Amino acid sequence: MDKIFFCKVLLALCLLSFTEAAPKHALITHLPGFNGTFPSEHYSGYVTLDEKHGKNLFYYFVVSERKPSEDPVVLWLNGGPGCSSFDGFVYEHGPFNFQAAKTHGSLPQLHLNPHSWSKVSNIIYLDSPAGVGLSYSNDPNDYETGDQKTASDTHTFLLKKWFEQYPEFLSNPLYISGESFAGIYIPTLASEIVKGIDIGLKPVLNFKGYMVGNGVTDNVFDGNALVPFAHGMGLISDDLFEAVTSACNSSFWGSINDRCSELLAKVDEDIMALNIYDILEPCYHNPEAKETEIVDVKLPSSFRKLGETDRPLAVRKRMFGRAWPFRAPVRDGIVPTWPQILNSGSVGCIDDKVATSWLNNDAVRKALHSQQENLTWELCTDKLSYNHDLGSMIPYHKNLTAWGYRVLIFSGDHDMCVPYTGSEAWTRSLGYKILDEWRPWFFNDQVAGYTQGYDHNLTFLTMKGAGHTVPEYKPQEALAFYSCWLAGQKI
């Protein structure tokens, strides 16, 4: 017993000595709703990018629960554009599982998450760009942004600001990870980092690679992914698939003829009652609907159970008829935010009540060192005017992998918003030699998905039974492939 106590004390002293350079004003000492002991140190606060404009990015930093001095530093970015990375923190792989408040006016209860990604990495959750989540600017002109500006600002956040405050982590391997529209954020940021390294910017970041989950990439591949996905999943008939493929000449978006358009409308009609973010999950008419009120679900209950999770907070409800439009890849130019899509009658149907109630509580905001007046946290904001100004991400992936950086592209195989068929197709289109032929990968002796490995450190992976936000649906399996990949081990 004495030995166990001594080891715990020694570990605590090691963690304390390693993070002694971290800013003490950013240390989180408690969190409302959580009554336990933090398994590692947590920090949060603002990094000022532009003092004149009052442009500030908010971060929440979780020190690794294992070996913080050696484990990678991972920057996590959610997508949108305009959605907060607290989505990942609260609903996917943060250090806590959130349990919905039991009474009106009370706070959600927090419990330690046994599948947190901080088990094996130091992880930064960043609200980016300014205007998203708890990040803000005193100059509203800063809310007019785009791919290039966002990448530049996030690079500045890391290079000039964050590592200045946490210099003890500068030698750790650095990775970027995220999902959805972060498929744009991540390769553009990685490119900025690599350019900075090449020209000798100081400090030198120990950048190693990145991961993208169900990520927006290229309007051709993304736009053509849905119809093959729907056919492969048995959602449309062979006859319809053959007819629409012939009429559209295998190109299902952009400039199309009348017959192609007519058949695509039939495809939409067949799948429109399904949950676009996970076809295994039921759709609901409204947020107050009971779980038994399933609307026109076309899959048997035994199939729907494939998407179940054992987390205390169930996978979020998705409402019938309210989702990102079908066959709508992100095009060049201004990208609509989720609230703007809501106003047009179609929205990212996300139940964010737990995160919203917690992050807008005064005691929580004080604990997080974010007490700005007139700053309401929203899962996705309508403040931004976001310009997708850097086009296809395929040249970025090609350049970064050619330079030897490690890349993992992963997909929940039941996501219909950014289907795995598109991600599989564009990774294959890079033309790299296949080093690890398509095969199943396993978790607890069960098939968890499929993977294919390429030359130049590129890996493609699917997660069986998962939707758009992979760790939300499959937390154990997600931690398994995340841990293996970061360690350079075979998945």
Please list the active-site residues: 180, 415, 468
- And the tokens for 393? 């991400």
Which burial class, exposed, middle or buried, applies to 382 when counting CB atoms under 10 A from its CB (0-12, 13-18, 19+)?
middle
CB distance 221 to 251 below 8 Å? no
CA gap 119, 144 in Å, rounded: 37
b/e map 401-415, b = 16+ CB within 10 Å: beeebbbbbbbbbbb
b/e map 227-264, b = 16+ CB within 10 Å: bbbbbebebbeeebbebbbebbeeebbeebeeebeebb
CB distance 400 to 191 below 8 Å? yes
CA gap 190, 393 in Å, rounded: 11
From the list 127, 124, 142, 134, the residue with the least C-alpha distance to 78 is: 127
- And the tokens for 359? 């992050």
CB distance 410 to 213 below 8 Å? yes
Listed in order, strand segments (DSSP E) in 444-489 are 446-454, 458-463
CA gap 188, 210 in Å, rounded: 11
DSSP state of 22: S
Angle at 203 between CA 199 and CA 207, to 5 degrees: 75
Look-up: residue for tokens 């980016």?
128
Please give the radius of gyration of the chain, using alpha carbons only, rounded to the nearest integer: 22
- And the tokens for 455? 């030359």
